[in-house]
Structures are given as C-alpha cells and as structure tokens.
Amino acid sequence: MSFPILKLIAQRIALGIVLLFAVSILIFVGTQILPGDVAQSILGQAATPQALANLREQLGLNDPAYIRYFRWLGGVLTGDLGTALTSGQDIASSIWPRLENTLFLAGCAAVVAVPLAIILGLLAVRYRNGPIDKIISAFALASTSFPEFFIGYLLVYFFAVKWQVFPAISTVFDGMPFLQRLQAVVLPATALTLVVLAHMMRMTRAAILNVMQSAYIETAELKGLRPFDIIRKHAFPNAVAPVVNVVMLNLAYLVVGVVVIEVIFVYPGMGQYLVDHVAKRDVPVVQAVGLIFAAVYIVLNIIADIAAILANPRLRHPK
C-alpha cells in the first residue's frame, strides 16, 4: 500500500475522531437544554424542595456544565457509560443486548437490500429507457415517497392484522431460536429494506450510467460483447467506489435510523430504548445511546471513504 493511500486513510480516521468529539459536545449540550427537571422526574411531583436539592447534589447536577461534560467523557473513554437515573442499572450492560438486537435487525435488512438494490440497478441500466427500467424507477419513486412509519403501519395492517402471517409486535429475547428470531423481525426488516432499497438502486443506476459514457465501454461494444457482459465486467467494477459509498451510508441509516421502526413494532432495540428514556428524561441513557449512534454512523462513513480510496486506481497505481 502506497504512502499517499496510507496518508489519506490516516486523515480520514483523524477527522472521524475529531468529528466524534464535536458530536459528543453537541449531544451533551442538547441533553442539558431539554425541558424539565431530572430530579423532579425521579422523585415525582410530591417531592419536597429539600429532597430535590439533595438529589441534585448527589447526581452532581449543581456542578458547572464543563465539569459534568469532562466527567462524562472520561467515563466514556474508560468504558463507563454511567448509571440510568430512573432504574439505577448500569447503562453499558443494559445497552449491549439492545445494540445486538438493533444490529441483527439492520443486518437482516442489509442482507436483502444491498444485493437486491445492485441487481435492480444493473437491470435498470441494461434495459434503460425500456419498460423494465420504467417499472423499477416507478417502484423506487413510490418507495421513497412514503415515510417509513406509513410503510410500517401498512405492513402491520396487511401481514399482521388482515392476513395474520407475521406478528405485529417483534418480540425477541436471549436464547430465542434463530428461525423464530428471523420470523419476529420479518416485518420491521421489510420496512427498513423498502426505505433504503430505492435510494441504493437509483444511485447504483446513476453511477453505472455515468461510467457507460466512457471510451473503453464504446470499445467493448465495438468488440461485440453482449450488453449485460459489458455492464457486469467493465462498467460495474469501475462504478464500485460511488456504489460502496451509497451502500455504507444506507447501512449507517439502517443502524441509526431504526428509531421509528422499532417504536412501531415495539422491537427491543436501541431506538426503543432511547425513546423510552427520553420520555423519562434519563439524561445519561440519552447521552450514551446518542453517542453510540454517532460513533456507528461516523465509523461506517470512514469505512466508505477508505473503500472509495482503495477503489481509486490513480491512488493504487500512482505514476
């Protein structure tokens, strides 16, 4: 691996670390300006002023904001995400199984959405401006026009209520057999797939069509190669970089953007966990979940940047 590539990769990683640090500040500031009183939400409306004052002192809420931020950041860097105010449970141990559930749901959606989007994109290019291309494009437009909560409720109505094929509530638990777990996440995974499929397919189509204007594609056509072979062997490999970027961005969305879907299907993942504790104004939990979501999103974006760098022949084979 050449020095320019290593330098670019190091720059991307350093930028990701700086960005994550900046996001941590925004998350902390955002949670501090939330309306309501943490002590009041814990003790209830019947709490005395003295009890509220004692709890605020105990929780360190009277300390300056910068001290509380660096105390929280120091804990995060040592693996201590703090303790949930409303339940008294360790946040790290509570988050881990929910993060596994969210990653499982996102993984199921990605396994279907990524190859299907690439295949549909290739078909749309092969039969561009024809009936197949128009049907695929119309499906993509319809899919992106509907918000994810509408798609989720539509799936619940038809497949859970009307036809009773799949459960409306996606209940999963430790030790659950794999096939049963798959059956439980079919509807939320389908909703997520429909949300990201259209964008990945359209960007794949656009990237390949852009490459199809190149001179070497015309040379391949003059040699008499079949159209689909030209797309598969010559156009698609040279369009990998933008396609990988789109795929990684949508994978990041699958992990970070599951909040609405998890709430609709009452799925015990990170999104549901976040919503429950926002309602309780449990600031340490909200901070921890927000930071994990930000870290996942930034890491996947860094991977996308690195993949694009490695896919660039000018960097792989410098003159």
pLDDT at 44: 73
When divided into structural domains, the chain yields a total of 2
Which distant-in-sequence residues (6+ apart) come within 8 Å of 82 by Cβ?
72, 75, 91, 284, 287, 288
Report the CATH number that the domain containing residue 205 is assigned in CATH: 1.10.3720.10
Task: Clarify whether residues 125 and 37 are in a common domain.
Answer: no
**Percentage of the chain exceeding pLDDT 90:** 43
pLDDT, one tens digit per residue, over 64-115 is: 888 989 999 999 999 889 888 878 889 999 999 999 999 999 999 999 999 9
**pTM of the complete model:** 0.87
pLDDT, one tens digit per residue, over 148-201 is: 889 999 999 999 999 999 999 998 988 899 999 999 999 999 999 998 998 899
Question: With bands split at pLDDT 50, 70 and 90, how would you rate the model's confidence at 318?
Answer: low
Region 274-278: what's the mean pLDDT?
Answer: 88
pLDDT of 319 over the 70 cut: no
Per the domain annotation, does 91 fall within a domain? no
Task: Clarify whether residues 149 and 244 are in a common domain.
Answer: yes
pLDDT at 30: 87
Task: Clarify whether residues 220 and 108 are in a common domain.
Answer: yes
Region 249-268: what's the mean pLDDT?
Answer: 89
Task: Clarify whether residues 128 and 267 are in a common domain.
Answer: yes
Task: Clarify whether residues 144 and 248 are in a common domain.
Answer: yes
Average pLDDT across the chain, whole number: 87
pLDDT of 316 over the 80 cut: no
Task: Clarify whether residues 201 and 136 are in a common domain.
Answer: yes
Region 126-147: what's the mean pLDDT?
Answer: 88
pLDDT at 303: 87
Per the domain annotation, does 288 fall within a domain? no
What does the block give as tokens for 90? 């360790």
Task: Clarify whether residues 115 and 250 are in a common domain.
Answer: yes
Task: Clarify whether residues 138 and 21 are in a common domain.
Answer: no
pLDDT of 3 over the 80 cut: no
Per the domain annotation, does 312 fall within a domain? no
Question: With bands split at pLDDT 50, 70 and 90, how would you rate the model's confidence at 285?
Answer: very high
Task: Find out whether 151 and 157 touch, Cβ atoms under 8 Å.
Answer: no
Question: With bands split at pLDDT 50, 70 and 90, how would you rate the model's confidence at 307?
Answer: confident
pLDDT at 151: 92
Region 131-158: what's the mean pLDDT?
Answer: 89
Final residue in a domain of this structure, among 45, 77, 109: 77
Question: Which carries the bigger pLDDT value, residue 16 or residue 304?
Answer: 16
Task: Clarify whether residues 159 and 226 are in a common domain.
Answer: yes
Task: Clarify whether residues 273 and 236 are in a common domain.
Answer: yes
pLDDT of 313 over the 70 cut: no
Task: Clarify whether residues 109 and 189 are in a common domain.
Answer: yes
pLDDT at 34: 72
**Domain encompassing residue 107:** 97-279
Per the domain annotation, does 12 fall within a domain? yes
Per the domain annotation, does 116 fall within a domain? yes
Task: Clarify whether residues 219 and 253 are in a common domain.
Answer: yes
pLDDT of 10 over the 60 cut: yes
Per the domain annotation, does 267 fall within a domain? yes
Per the domain annotation, does 200 fall within a domain? yes
Per the domain annotation, does 273 fall within a domain? yes
